[in-house]
Structure 1
Amino acid sequence: MGLGRHKLIVLVLGLSITVLLYLLLPSGQPEEGDRKAEVPRSDPQSNMNITVRTATLTGDWPTFYREAIPRNALEGAERFSVLLLHGQIFSSKTWEDLGTLNILAEHGYRAVAIDLPGYGESLRAQPMSTEKGRTDYLLQVMESLGTRQPVLISPSMSGLFSLPLLLQHPDRLRGFVPIAPVGTKSFKPEQYKQIQVPSLIVYGTLDTNLGSQSLESLQLLPNHTLSPLEGGGHACYLDRPEEFHAALLMFLSKLS
């Protein structure tokens, strides 16, 4: 009887110690707020953790954005930021679905894609009606995001935002990647010739409209590289994503 009572006491004591250790050890689970703000993802090939976030910038123009951040960026060692705009029938989700955000983050860049005013999930923001308004808007977004001299990727319609910024505030950009942007004819050849920002001019060889038209003006940029995507249409990055990503990463590596 005494021996049985002794075994019972030992068993209860062992269970108590186990429960106590379980409660004291960290669970490894994120806080509730962290789960809502970001979703960590890992690339199976590089084993680099990538944090993906979505949020809305407050201010005069509420702007929805998506970003992918590599682990080293969270530790304060990121290369630089890449800011992605979009065409008229697209949004920031286009770059997520294409894999561009994750690919950039896998290579050490902070990648941020925004929904321009009146598009995607930025519907509460009124569309910009003036060149100055569009320029001020991008400057505010860059300031709010904390992007120091980003590389700006600008397809099609978003040229109405990016070109005035490039030509009026070239010091605010580390690099420029126009993809058949709208509005190139609104500026004089002399304006392009004065810009020293490294530029990667991307266009689809089948885009005989905006692709060839914008190329005529963009080639006046002194520090440019051409990247024709064979067989690509107007949205050539969708038609030839592998070639587009390869050209983009090569360009970015030269800016590091």
Structure 2
Amino acid sequence: MMFTRALLLAGLLGAGTALADEPPATYGQELQGFAYPYTLHHYRFESQGQTLQMGYMDVAANGKPNGNTVVLLHGKNFCAATWETTIAALSGAGYRVIAPDQIGFCTSSKPEHYQYSFQQLAANTHQLLADIDVKDPILLGHSTGGMLATRYALLYPNEVQRLAMVNPIGLEDWKALGVPWRSVDDWFARETKLSAEGIRNYERTTYYAGRWKPEYDRWVNMLAGLNQGPGHTVVAWNSALIYDMIFTQPVVYEFPQLKMPTLLLIGTADTTAIGSDIAPKEVKARVGHYEQLGKQAAQAIPHATLVEFEGLGHAPQMEEPARFHQALLSWLNTPQ
């Protein structure tokens, strides 16, 4: 019934707004038509009474393997494919690399009905890793993937070797700080109107401090092409459910419970704060300050190392990959 209501709302809103620029290619409901940088595999499993599948890349060490596996957890407006340069850097350093797309995202299933929680996504990922014989991984989560990596580490503390997070969101509790709640219907209405131009403008302002590089357009068009494709309604509905999960399931209060060595890689110019676009001015002014949030998280997490990238934004691994990967590999190569 909820999804039927979503379909009716989609009809009222129309098929989405026209793209301001030249329309990007459109992709299938599971991102069919978009080329991933490495071989894409699919893991089929049962969850909440339905058969689902997760797309993932499993990249072997390039050169001499060091026996360790890094699992990359993508952000909300990202996919496993956006880890392309990080996969190459880690594989080149001897790591096996697993990069899954979570349910509701990119090359994975978009169920019409799903109870989203970070615990559920962590359990799905845990099942995938068991299926492909990955034990004691190193987790690296970006943005929303940082929230998921934290939840995974809390659920399976004895099965996580190390934890690293890149500009994770959820370093603060937005709703407790006064950011207004949005209903799933309101999120859905917002998501049905996504365009390449809107995505680009949001990311330029929020992620990259007003800067833009042409190579970012590939990822903008990937996201816009998925949202404008034949599965746009169910894609938007899943996106709405995921935003509700992000907003209502903070992990910040449990940072002191993390027991493994943890690395925080923080671009200090990031201003991401979910829902701040509808927050009162005084609330908006006090959220999304990563130059402060990174330091606060490092103090809260018992065995944390903080690396700040002054002036970089939400995705330092994409803005300055060489500098980012040097910092990441230096920490990985340091005995803990």
TM norm. shorter chain > 0.5: yes
CA distance in 2, matches of 1:94, 1:145: 22
1:112 CA drift (Å): 1.3
Q: Deviations over 1:154-203 (max 9, x none)?
A: 111123422222223211111111112233443465x4334221111011
- Aligned match for 1:229, one of 309, 315, 331: 309
CA distance in 1, matches of 2:310, 2:252: 29
Q: Do residues 107 (structure 1) and 98 (structure 2) align? A: no
Q: Deviations over 1:205-242 (max 9, x none)?
A: 21242634364234321211111112211122211211
Match of 2:226 in 1: none
- Which has the bigger relative contact order, CA under 8 A and spacing at least 6? 2
Match of 1:238 in 2: 318
Match of 1:32 in 2: none
CA distance in 2, matches of 1:204, 1:90: 17
CA distance in 2, matches of 1:59, 1:182: 28
CA distance in 1, matches of 2:97, 2:89: 9
CA distance in 2, matches of 1:197, 1:214: 18
Report which of the two structures shows the higher radius of gyration computed on alpha carbons.
Answer: 1
Contact kept in structure 1, 2:69 and 2:96, CA below 8 Å: yes
Match of 1:3 in 2: none
TM-score of the two chains, using structure 1 as the length reference:
0.69
Task: Name the aligned partner's letter for residue 79 of structure 2.
Answer: S
- Aligned match for 1:137, one of 92, 113, 124: 124
What is the aligned residue count? 200
Task: Name the aligned partner's letter for residue 57 of structure 2.
Answer: R
- Aligned match for 2:155, one of 164, 168, 172: 168
Match of 2:140 in 1: 153
Q: Deviations over 1:30-83 (max 9, x none)?
A: xxxxxxxxxxxxxxxxxxxxxx5321111124111113212567xxx5421000
Q: In structure 2, the residue corresponding to 1:140 is in which secondary structure?
A: helix
Task: Name the aligned partner's letter for residue 224 of structure 1.
Answer: A
Q: 1:128 to 1:229 in 2, by over 3 A?
A: farther
- Aligned match for 2:77, one of 72, 82, 89: 89
Task: Name the aligned partner's letter for residue 118 of structure 1.
Answer: G
Moved more, 163-172 or 109-118: 163-172
Match of 1:64 in 2: 55
Q: 1:210 to 1:197 in 2, by over 3 A?
A: farther
Computed over aligned residues only, the root mean square deviation of the Cα atoms, in angstroms, reads 2.5
More strand by share: 1
1:108 CA drift (Å): 0.8
Match of 2:270 in 1: 207
Contact kept in structure 1, 2:294 and 2:306, CA below 8 Å: no
Task: Name the aligned partner's letter for residue 63 of structure 1.
Answer: M
TM-score of the two chains, using structure 2 as the length reference:
0.54
Unmatched 5+ residue regions in structure 2? 1-37, 47-51, 174-249, 272-287
Q: 1:233 to 1:188 in 2, by over 3 A?
A: closer
Q: 1:155 to 1:215 in 2, by over 3 A?
A: farther
Aligned residues with identical type, % of pairs: 26
